[in-house]
Amino acid sequence: AFPVIKQIQRMLRFETDELMGQVDDFSEFVKELNDYSWRLDKKESLFLGRVLRLHKGLTADAPFVNSIEEQ
């Protein structure tokens, strides 16, 4: 799980528009970390919870942001 956490942390340093542009890659890393959820310690589980909330917001807002940018 550690390499996945490091990759997600690296992506969280991106500007918002860059992260929105890579939402598919971000989603894959979040899914992979979620697959490890049964092996995570408390700190990693808290991180996963926060990342899942962010992921939900990104995926919900991505179509809206893209449609606004296209206008």
At residue 71, the pLDDT reads: 56
Instruction: For 4-63, write each residue's pLDDT tens digit.
Output: 999 999 999 999 889 888 989 999 999 999 999 999 999 999 999 999 999 988 888 655
Residue 21 half-sphere exposure, CB side, CA atoms within 13 Å? 6
Structural domain span for residue 28: 2-70
At residue 61, the pLDDT reads: 67
Q: How far apart are CA 37 and CA 13, in angstroms?
A: 23
At residue 70, the pLDDT reads: 60
Based on the structure, what is the number of domains in the chain?
1
How far, rounded to the nearest angstrom, does the alpha carbon of residue 49 sit from its chain's CA centroid? 11
